[in-house]
Structure 1
Amino acid sequence: MPPFNTRISKQLEKRLDSRLSRSIRTIEAGNTASLSFQSKRHVNFSSNDYLGLAADKTLSQAWQRGIDLYGNGSGASPLVTGFSKAHADLEASLCDWLGFERAILFSSGFSANQAVLFSLMKEGDLLVQDKLNHASLIEAGIHCSATMKRFRHNDIEHLKRTLTSGGLVVTEGVFSMDGDLAPLADIHDITQVNSWFMVDDAHGIGVLGEEGRGSCHSANVKPEILVVTFGKALGLSGAAVMCNQDLGDYFTQFARHHVYSTAMPPSLAHAISHSIEMVRTQQWRRDKLAELQSEYQQRFSMLDGYIETETPIKPFLIGDSGASVQIAMALSDMGLWLTAIRPPTVAKGAARLRVTLTANHNINQVKALANAIGQAVEKVAEWNRRF
């Protein structure tokens, strides 16, 4: 008899004993700067909705218009009958915005990353990844046919020593747990001789660069492969792989996540095109983020645990996993929603609160957050000293 029950019980018990157990909490109205949990309102500092588009009424109307035009679902994979004019228009919008010949659409960034590595990398190839890359990239690297090596986070000299032959170098543009930027220009220079460069810009697109073109545009580099997602700054869901014409044709033939998955709803594709136009033209959203980030720096720089970033992702380092959960709970009692990030998502001893700012926040909320975190940290430290 398979030992599944015993294995599952032991793993769950181990996770619980190490104070790393995860749970899903049902929230209401979570697409704005506030949410409701168990009938209590919280200011939401955990959303990736950086530009405040997830609940924007104009964008909602665009999606509803897409339903009127194209119906509800796509009904099939892209190579059967699932690819509509809305999908073609979205690909054209992405290419015009980001300056690539092709855009291959996926239902999630996870699928897009895995599709690229599984279809492109073969036995004998070298894949070199930043140590802190997203789980979708690391997992695909482990299971694809290529030889994967990892270089120390943002360490250019280590990358040079690791890239012993031509291969594919992969990094994120903005790292989701640390909020820091990859040294894209330096990595681009290293890969110019006999390698390719791939960037996952899930957390940079819409936020950085002229017209929100992302971290690569901000760094003035163009990788061979750029992955962008629509579930963060663009306020919706899905992803695209940006590349040249030949590589796009190759993915159409061999990227199984694309070929064999039902295409995203055409109404969603229609809404994403509208979101791109809003991101390109509504600079005030990025200006608002810059204003909030300046206030955050002023209020938090005096607190232990503060980490400087140039993005709306503001990790506040706690260290101990148990303490990070206690502090998050104390903040919840004060009406502030923050997520405690613990191993294995981050390294052991690097548990933190992941603070994210959005264009829907205001200055007073940032001030209140700084005061509350200072109080919560002291309260939890005092409680732990006693007990």
Structure 2
Amino acid sequence: MAHPLTDKITQQLAQQQATGLLRQRKLLGFGTDTNVINVDFSHNDYLGLASSVELAQALYQGALTYGVGSKASPLVSGYGAAHQLLEQKLCDITGHQACMLFCSGFSANSALMKTLFTSTDVVIADKLVHASIIDGIVDSGAKLVRYLHNDIDSAAHLLAKHPNNVLITESVFSMDGDSAPIKALSALCQQHNSWLIVDDAHGFGVVDLHGCAAITAKQADIQVVTFGKALGCQGAAILASQDIIDFLVANARHYIYSTALSPANAYLAFSAIEFIEKSPHLPSQLNGNIALFRRLSTEAGIKLTASQTAIQPIIIGDNSLTMAVAESLALKGFKVGAIRSPTVPAGRARLRITLNAQHTPAQINQLVAQLALLLTDLSIENQ
């Protein structure tokens, strides 16, 4: 007799397979066409640091100096000099008083929401905030109300209805690539005595770390940054006032009961920040590549969204057609993301193309040319 859980697993996998929504791991691989450069347009390594020699050397040096593993949770013996060095660097950049490190952005967001909120709280969030934020709020028992995406009037209405609470947004939205109106949202929150929490995962490090476009403590009461995007490594941090961080350190179960971020990785993230500070050409190269992709796509008749960031979605709508285009591009040597529901709303499946500073003009030209051919051949009218 089959176990009930076995039946549930079998049925759900079959249903996901039939609807084209089955998620599976795949080793990175490309096509066999030797006339095309094999290149990845799917990852979040926006500045191309994940494979850099300089950061490989920094990881090696960090391991030699501070050790490979943390050995314990931060509250036991897992908090060392490398962690403190990185936290201080992040505070210096953003102006926040204090910082705490996590092994991933998902765990940081989840821990923040579950620890900060209870059933007595109302949390106002952008309609398109990340799954880690939603899951954490749901687990906390707080009431979640959501305003229309990047809509200041909608946010103002909810803040007026629920003052003295918290509003949450991303800085750059991971699936649409558009940027939140942080300055306006910050002003609204101050007007209604509410905190602003910004998930800065896809924004941090891409712009000038000390520039006017960077998120700081003057705008966000709490800021979450990740190291797996522009920094090209691993981990995340929550930045806030000393009181907030002290509260989270004392009460966040994920932080209390998890082995701390590797000291080698903490030193690597610190080194990545310093490398970016000394390499202002990298964001400039990225911006140049974004502009080139958008110009070539427009000339080829490919309809784009308004995104001006490294994340360039091409909305196809149908799940199967989206997968077909992505698979055809892979055969030609180009890996792009194929994003389907429930990650995005039904009927809004898209190719998620991400540019980075290391892409060459030739690679971008070839991608656009192949994409234009496929969209025409499959008679897809992207919307």
- Match of 1:134? 130
- Match of 2:347? 349
Give the CA deviation at 1:259: 1.4
- Match of 2:204? 205
Query: Contact conserved, 2:30 with 2:333, CA < 8 A, in 1?
Result: no
Q: Rate the CA distance shift 1:269–1:210 in 2: closer, same or farther, 3 A.
A: closer
Unaligned runs of 5+ in 1: 28-34, 383-387
Query: Contact conserved, 1:206 with 1:213, CA < 8 A, in 2?
Result: no
Q: Distance in 1 between matches of 2:349 and 2:82?
A: 42
Instruction: Give TM-score, length-normalised by structure 1.
Output: 0.92
| 1:235 alignment partner, one of 222, 225, 232 | 232
SS in 2 for 1:78: coil
| 2:81 alignment partner, one of 66, 80, 85 | 85
Give the CA deviation at 1:323: 0.4
- Match of 1:24? 25
What amino acid maps onto 1:264 in structure 2?
L
1:301 aligns with 2:298: yes
Further displaced range: 39-48 or 139-148: 39-48
- Match of 2:47? 51
1:146 aligns with 2:142: yes
What amino acid maps onto 1:351 in structure 2?
A
Instruction: Give TM-score, length-normalised by structure 2.
Output: 0.93
Aligned residue pair count: 373
| 2:110 alignment partner, one of 95, 107, 114 | 114
Q: Distance in 2 between matches of 1:114 and 1:368?
A: 40
CA RMSD of aligned residues (A): 1.9
CA shift digits 1:167-205 (9 cap, x unpaired): 111110000010000111111111103211100010000
Query: Contact conserved, 2:31 with 2:333, CA < 8 A, in 1?
Result: no
Unaligned runs of 5+ in 2: none
| 1:370 alignment partner, one of 348, 368, 371 | 368
Query: Contact conserved, 1:127 with 1:167, CA < 8 A, in 2?
Result: yes
Give the CA deviation at 1:233: 0.4
Query: Contact conserved, 1:26 with 1:37, CA < 8 A, in 2?
Result: no
Give the CA deviation at 1:45: 0.4
% identical equivalent positions: 38
Query: Contact conserved, 1:285 with 1:359, CA < 8 A, in 2?
Result: yes
- Match of 2:319? 321
Query: Contact conserved, 2:311 with 2:355, CA < 8 A, in 1?
Result: yes
Superposition pairs of residues 137-286 of structure 1, within 5 angstroms: 137-163=133-159, 164-165=161-162, 166-192=164-190, 193-211=192-210, 215-217=214-216, 221-286=218-283
CA shift digits 1:209-251 (9 cap, x unpaired): 454786425xx95211000000010010100000011111111
Q: Distance in 2 between matches of 1:60 and 1:212?
A: 27
Q: Rate the CA distance shift 1:240–1:377 in 2: closer, same or farther, 3 A.
A: same
